[in-house]
């Protein structure tokens, strides 16, 4: 497999402008002739579908939720970065670019990140124009805050609901295009296969989740915006419906999957309370702006947190990282919490959490100010844990949150399957091995609003005048049959255990062996236990109901089946990467101070895995990462 | 302390089925479970017995996506104020409780299956005009239009709507006016929304009516049920915007 | 025309009709009540006042207008109620009141219909009723005696009082509703409007009840 990243030549700050000029154009009359399939309606999908429709393409848009407004982007809390430098504190496109590459532990593609930083400013303009109610100061201008891993205030926010407001902005743009007839919207439809003809993506097969009908949809290009896959861990901050199925079926149709082992574990989540737990709740990282993280110095300390005097507390982030303190990047903060708990300093009944304390902040700013800033988060904490965070410190623990890995894409966001584009969290491109806070929203919207409308032309222009393919083509019949067979297979097992139970077990393996820290031995073990569990899955699964109706058990089973395969690939990738970087921490590769130790000489590449068939190991393809502007250093937040 | 409860759940095969309550006993309910996790537990038990699971909408389970619904013991999203079903916890209930769980009931919200209803009418209302017509790339600098904090906060309060439909479920007339008014308020307060202000309200109300929602009789049930605590004063604003819109159009050529 | 009809047929349009006709009817109630108080100024004053009213040729215009407003309010209210019922074809097994749902707010259609029934009886009894004493030479009806005679029947007085309580009930929700429907209720005045609405309901009911109580039970 040839990985051509198609990075334009020239100086980094000119690459995108030059590229925009160089790409082929499709004239307005011809745009009408193209049908584009967009899967997913989160920030990337919603913005892409709306923007492409505005340009004149015929768009078909799909989502598994009952409404495009419910995509999980809606749950993002903290904010969105943009290099506006409204605060006059030294921010710039270059600094945002630099911070993102460094934050990603030097495992992202420079050119993509630079473009992202450039586009960040347009996103804010666009969203404000749509009526997104960002926080403002009394003079009526936009407010900013600083956010995990950044020393400048460049984060725009809408209380603790930034993702919601941005998504509703994209949803409103999408709704407008639906009403104009430019987008056909298919809610409650799940993509179950990619259809390729002569190696090009030409359509998808979907299942109508309400009545179970399997439907083919043809298009001139397919744009996947189907989000991340950390639900492979079972417990994560993702929505219950988040899954890897669309990406995974694309992978099995020839799209390379890059860096699957790069998963982000978010430091400020609520700890697990019991076996019944279905998800982990995240609380915005902005809490770390004013909250202080600590554990008792004495492992055996049984006192309530408020009774422990200052000098017997270990504010370990402030101690270990004086410059960034509680604001170190997510991977660093998460690992530090894990280390404290592993070493026996954890708090709570199971000793698997650390304190996040607002006592100082309340003293300094007053309860009212704290309430104004974080009220909704405090309320959420209280509601879930039944503890009052104004009186006692919160207890937090890291949880899987975001997947930096995803389908490999070139500078045009096109995967290794021509005509298949991948946007947002579903692709691998911009965050390297670790994503900085408030960057996911930025990437999703940059890809959808400002990148794909330009780059898709380059592909479409070439297919002008070629034969149109419709759903009567044999490939669609094959795709439908494959999907039907797979569903029948799942329904016919009629065993004893639910998909949920298998998922939980898989999640436990993934979390223990391929979670916050990994070791060769554990990974090797996982490479045996996952296929074993998968075998049990295919022999002992039970699904009630039929395939011809709304059947949430069947949906779940199909997604878990794909998580099994993805899990194995993640482990394989983690095992291959003999270094520690960002979210991928191999215990064997750490510095004396327990910091991640990269191996730039051998692993400065994106690992793009290629599917080779049911019974063959996937092939590893390497895209070397070249750093011309950012100097490779060991990350330091001291 | 774990406890036992009795659930009376509305089961309905499809839109065309009539539906009925089915009773289930559930033991070992932990007070730390969320309400939906309690239903997950029931579903696992049902599935292991080869019975059909109870279908219900849910996704984020952190109170923001608006997917979860459920009319619990006569209250949309259950007994806690300002809380979605997914954030309701079982510590709110006790040993021996009988819990009625029904779908949202309104003519435009057809039951898809069991507790799942079709809320696409909300999407159609937004499609009628719940947006600002600005194509990608047409925006001015974000700080070019200063918006006072009071105004922007007010717009935000309305924009917090998650489109779950609890307002419709709670209203004795199944009126969608709180939902519609939240969007109308957000976009009529912000200067960006002014060019389409009156056209928007007129179109949105028209589609709301076509969908078959009832009418507001100013009883404030919607506000009390709203998990995002959207204020009913928005409905007053909606009325005002609508009246002005119609008066304006009557006097314009 | 069809465009304007559509406005009147829209949900908010119908609410506005209810509010405006309601406001006019409220105005009528006030003026009627003021006229009633002439009862205390003696038979002559009251009879002359009522004669002045009916002998003014404009009365036909006013009556026609008033009838139209009444009918508009009633028919519109019935249509709204039917539509609202239709919006929820399947009822809940269990419901709880969470907001400001009150007995008054939930029974507007019934209190309204009772008041309408009262209105019919009221017209039959007084406007078209048989006088107890003949009219004077210049045609002034002795309405005063008719009223006193009717109110001295305890059953009639009780019926009257009950209906006026219904009217008060109706008004206690109607007036605050009117402000909200017309978009006049600023949040800061909401509490005051609610209290005023209830007080007005009580006031009007009490005002009208003075007469049956006075003439039926005291005098």
CB distance B107–C4 less than 8 Å? no
Q: Mean pLDDT highest for which of A603-607, C5-9, C185-189? A: A603-607
Q: Which of A51, A163, A40, A168 is nearest to B123 (CA)?
A: A168
A434-466 burial by CB neighbour count: b if 16+ within 10 A, else e?
A: bbbbbbbbbbbbbbbbbbbbbbbbbbbeebeee
**Contacting residues of B for A122, CB less than 8 Å apart:** 137, 139
- Nearest-angstrom CA–CA distance, A616 and A614: 6
Q: Tell me, what CATH number does C158's domain have?
A: 1.20.1300.10
**Contacting residues of B for C98, CB less than 8 Å apart:** 75, 170, 221, 224-225
Residue C198 lies in a domain: yes
Q: Does B96 touch chain A (CB under 8 A)?
A: no
Q: Which of A54-68, A319-333, B75-89, B229-243 has the lowest mean pLDDT?
A: A319-333
Residue C42 lies in a domain: yes
Per-residue model confidence as pLDDT tens digits over C113-148: 999 999 999 999 999 988 888 888 888 999 999 999
For the cut 50, the answer to whether the pLDDT of residue C1 exceeds it is no
Per-residue model confidence as pLDDT tens digits over C40-66: 999 999 999 999 999 999 999 999 999
For the cut 90, the answer to whether the pLDDT of residue A273 exceeds it is no
Residues 6+ apart with CB under 8 A from A110: A12, A97, A101, A625, A626, A627, A628, A629, A630
- Nearest-angstrom CA–CA distance, A27 and A435: 37
Residue carrying structure tokens 């009319």: B71
Instruction: For chain B, list the domains and their CATH numbers.
Output: 3-113 (3.10.20.30), 120-251 (1.10.1060.10)
Nearest-CA distance from B219 to chain A in Å? Answer: 27
Which of A70, A142, A542 comes nearest B143 by C-beta?
A: A142
Size of interface A-B (CB pairs under 8 A): 228
Annotated catalytic residues of A are 330
Count of alpha carbons within 13 angstroms of residue C55, beta-carbon side: 10
Question: What is the radius of gyration, based on Cα positions, of chain A?
Answer: 24
Which of B170, B217, B235 comes nearest C98 by C-beta?
A: B170
What's the pLDDT at B253?
Answer: 66
Structure token digits, residue A147: 């956010």
Angstrom distances, CA of residue B7 to CA of A275, A501, B21, B42, B90: 21, 23, 9, 10, 13
What's the pLDDT at C2?
Answer: 57
- Nearest-angstrom CA–CA distance, A565 and A562: 5
Nearest-CA distance from B65 to chain A in Å? Answer: 5
Residue C57 lies in a domain: yes
Q: Which domain holds residue C205?
A: 11-87+103-218
Give the mean pLDDT of chain B. Answer: 96
Are the beta carbons of A230 and A243 closer than 8 angstroms?
A: no
CB distance C99–B174 less than 8 Å? no
CB distance A240–B60 less than 8 Å? yes
What's the pLDDT at B41?
Answer: 97
B201: nearest CA in chain C? C12
Residue B37 CB neighbour total at 10 angstroms: 23
> Torsions phi, psi of A522, nearest 5?
-60, -40
What's the pLDDT at A148?
Answer: 65
Please give the CATH architecture assigned to the domain spanning A474-602: Up-down Bundle (1.20)
**Contacting residues of A for B65, CB less than 8 Å apart:** 65, 70, 72, 74-75, 239
**Contacting residues of B for A380, CB less than 8 Å apart:** 62-63, 87
Residues 6+ apart with CB under 8 A from A55: A28, A31, A453
Residues of CATH 1.20.58.100 domain(s) within chain A?
474-602
Please report the ipTM that was assigned to this predicted complex.
0.97
Per-residue model confidence as pLDDT tens digits over A562-621: 999 999 999 999 999 999 999 999 999 999 888 899 999 999 999 999 999 998 999 999
Structure token digits, residue B192: 């960006």
Residues 131-160 of B with CB under 8 A from A: 131-143, 145-149, 152, 155-156, 159-160
**Contacting residues of C for B231, CB less than 8 Å apart:** 187
Residues 122-151 of C with CB under 8 A from B: none
* Percentage, residues of chain A above pLDDT 70: 100
What's the pLDDT at A638?
Answer: 78
Q: How many domains does chain C have?
A: 1
CB distance B62–A550 less than 8 Å? no
Per-residue model confidence as pLDDT tens digits over B27-37: 999 999 999 99
What's the pLDDT at A451?
Answer: 98
For the cut 90, the answer to whether the pLDDT of residue A637 exceeds it is no
CATH of domain A267-400: 3.90.700.10
For the cut 80, the answer to whether the pLDDT of residue A326 exceeds it is yes
Q: Is the dihedral of CA A548, A549, A553, A556 positive or negative?
A: positive
């Amino acid at each position: 497999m040839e990985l051509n990243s198609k990075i334009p030549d020239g100086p980094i700050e000119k690459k995108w402008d030059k590229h925009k000029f160089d790409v082929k154009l499709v004239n307005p009359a011809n745009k009408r002739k193209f049908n584009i399939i967009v899967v997913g309606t989160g920030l990337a999908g919603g913005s892409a579908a709306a923007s492409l429709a505005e340009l004149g393409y015929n768009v078909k848009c799909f989502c598994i939720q009952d409404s495009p407004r419910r995509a999980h982007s809606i749950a993002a809390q903290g904010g969105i970065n943009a290099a506006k430098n409204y605060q006059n504190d030294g921010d710039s496109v270059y600094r945002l670019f630099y911070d993102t590459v460094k934050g990603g532990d030097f495992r992202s593609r420079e050119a993509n990140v630079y473009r992202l930083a450039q586009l960040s400013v347009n996103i804010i303009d666009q969203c404000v124009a749509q009526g997104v109610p960002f926080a403002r100061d009394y003079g009526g201008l936009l407010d900013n805050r600083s956010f995990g891993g950044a020393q400048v205030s460049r984060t725009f926010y809408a209380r603790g609901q930034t993702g919601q407001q941005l998504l509703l902005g994209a949803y409103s743009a999408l709704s407008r295009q639906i009403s104009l007839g430019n987008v056909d919207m298919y809610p409650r439809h799940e993509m179950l296969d990619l259809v390729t003809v002569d190696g090009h993506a030409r359509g998808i097969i979907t299942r109508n989740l309400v009545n179970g009908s399997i439907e083919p949809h043809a298009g001139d290009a397919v744009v996947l915006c189907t989000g991340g896959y950390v639900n492979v861990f079972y417990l994560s901050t993702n929505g219950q419906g988040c899954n890897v199925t669309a990406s995974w079926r694309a992978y099995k149709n020839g799209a390379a999957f890059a860096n699957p082992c790069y998963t982000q574990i978010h430091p400020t989540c609520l700890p697990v309370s019991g076996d019944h737990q279905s998800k982990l709740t995240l609380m915005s990282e902005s809490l770390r702006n004013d909250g202080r993280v600590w554990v008792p110095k004495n492992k055996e300390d049984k006192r309530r947190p408020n009774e422990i005097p200052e000098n017997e507390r270990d504010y370990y982030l402030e101690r270990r990282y004086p410059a960034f303190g509680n604001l170190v990047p997510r991977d660093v903060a998460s690992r530090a919490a894990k280390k404290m708990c592993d070493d026996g300093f954890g708090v709570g009944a199971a000793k698997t959490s650390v304190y996040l304390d607002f006592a100082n902040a309340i003293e300094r700013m007053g309860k009212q100010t704290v309430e104004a800033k974080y009220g909704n988060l405090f309320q959420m904490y209280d509601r879930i844990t039944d503890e009052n965070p104004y009186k006692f410190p919160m207890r937090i623990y890291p949880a899987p949150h975001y997947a930096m890995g995803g389908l490999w894409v070139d500078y045009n966001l096109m995967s290794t399957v021509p005509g298949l584009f991948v946007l947002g969290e579903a692709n691998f491109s911009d965050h390297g091995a670790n994503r900085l806070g408030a960057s996911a929203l930025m990437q999703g919207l940059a890809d959808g609003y400002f990148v794909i409308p330009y780059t898709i032309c380059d592909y479409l222009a070439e297919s002008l005048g070629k034969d149109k393919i419709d759903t009567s083509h044999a490939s669609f019949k094959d795709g439908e049959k494959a999907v039907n067979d797979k569903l029948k297979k799942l329904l016919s097992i009629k065993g004893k255990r639910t998909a949920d139970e298998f998922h939980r077990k898989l999640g436990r393996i993934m979390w223990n062996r391929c979670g916050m820290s990994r070791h060769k031995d554990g990974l090797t073990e996982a490479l045996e236990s996952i296929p074993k569990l998968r075998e049990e899955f295919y022999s002992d699964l039970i699904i009630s109901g039929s395939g011809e109706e709304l059947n949430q058990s069947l949906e779940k089973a199909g997604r878990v089946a794909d998580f099994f395969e993805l899990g194995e690939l993640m482990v394989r990738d983690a095992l291959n990467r003999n270094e520690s970087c960002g979210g991928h921490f191999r215990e064997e590769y750490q510095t004396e101070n327990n910091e991640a130790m990269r191996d730039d000489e051998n692993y400065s590449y994106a690992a793009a895995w290629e599917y080779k068939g049911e019974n063959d190991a996937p092939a590893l393809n390497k895209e070397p990462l070249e750093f011309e502007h950012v100097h490779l250093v060991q990350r330091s937040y001291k | 302390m774990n406890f036992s409860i009795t659930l009376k759940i509305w089961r309905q095969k499809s839109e065309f089925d009539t539906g009925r309550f089915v009773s289930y006993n559930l033991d070992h309910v932990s007070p730390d479970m969320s309400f939906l996790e309690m239903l997950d537990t029931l579903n696992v038990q049902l599935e292991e017995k080869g019975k059909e699971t109870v279908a219900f909408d849910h996704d984020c389970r952190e109170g923001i996506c608006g997917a979860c619904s459920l009319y619990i013991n006569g209250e949309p999203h259950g007994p806690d104020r300002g809380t979605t079903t997914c954030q309701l916890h079982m510590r709110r209930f006790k040993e021996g409780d009988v819990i009625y769980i029904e779908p949202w009931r309104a003519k435009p919200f057809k039951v898809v299956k069991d507790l799942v209803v079709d809320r696409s009418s909300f999407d159609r209302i937004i499609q009628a005009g719940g947006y600002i017509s600005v194509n990608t790339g047409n925006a001015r600098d974000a700080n070019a239009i200063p918006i006072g904090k009071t105004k922007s906060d007010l717009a935000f309060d309305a924009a917090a709507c998650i489109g779950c439909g609890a307002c419709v479920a709670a209203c004795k007339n199944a009126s969608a006016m709180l939902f519609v008014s939240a969007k109308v308020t957000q976009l009529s307060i912000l200067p960006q929304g002014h060019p389409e202000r009156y056209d928007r309200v007129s179109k949105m109300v028209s589609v709301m009516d076509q969908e078959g929602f009832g009418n507001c009789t100013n009883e404030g049930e919607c506000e009390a049920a709203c998990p995002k605590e959207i204020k009913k004063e928005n409905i007053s604003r909606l009325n005002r915007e609508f009246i002005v819109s119609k008066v304006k159009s009557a006097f314009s050529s | 025309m069809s465009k304007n009809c559509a406005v009147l047929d829209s949900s908010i349009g119908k609410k506005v009709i209810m509010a405006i006709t309601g406001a006019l009817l409220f105005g009528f109630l006030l003026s009627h009540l003021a006229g009633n108080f002439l009862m205390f100024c003696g038979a002559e004053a009251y009879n002359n006042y009522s004669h002045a009213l009916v002998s003014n040729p404009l009365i036909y215009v006013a009556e026609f207008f008033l009838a139209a407003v009444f009918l508009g309010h009633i028919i519109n209210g019935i249509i709204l109620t039917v539509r609202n019922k239709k919006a929820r074809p399947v009822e809940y097994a269990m419901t709880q009141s969470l907001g400001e749902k009150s007995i008054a707010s939930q029974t507007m259609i019934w209190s309204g219909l009772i008041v309408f029934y009262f209105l019919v009886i009221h017209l039959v009894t007084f406007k078209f009723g048989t006088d107890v004493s003949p009219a004077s030479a210049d045609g002034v009806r002795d309405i005063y005696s008719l009223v006193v005679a009717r109110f001295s029947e305890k059953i009639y007085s009780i019926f009257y009082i009950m209906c006026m309580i219904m009217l008060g009930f109706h008004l206690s929700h109607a007036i605050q509703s009117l402000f909200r429907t017309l978009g006049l209720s600023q949040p800061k005045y909401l509490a005051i409007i609610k209290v005023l609405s209830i007080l007005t309901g009580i006031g009007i009911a009490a005002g009208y009840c003075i007469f049956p109580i006075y003439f039926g039970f005291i005098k």
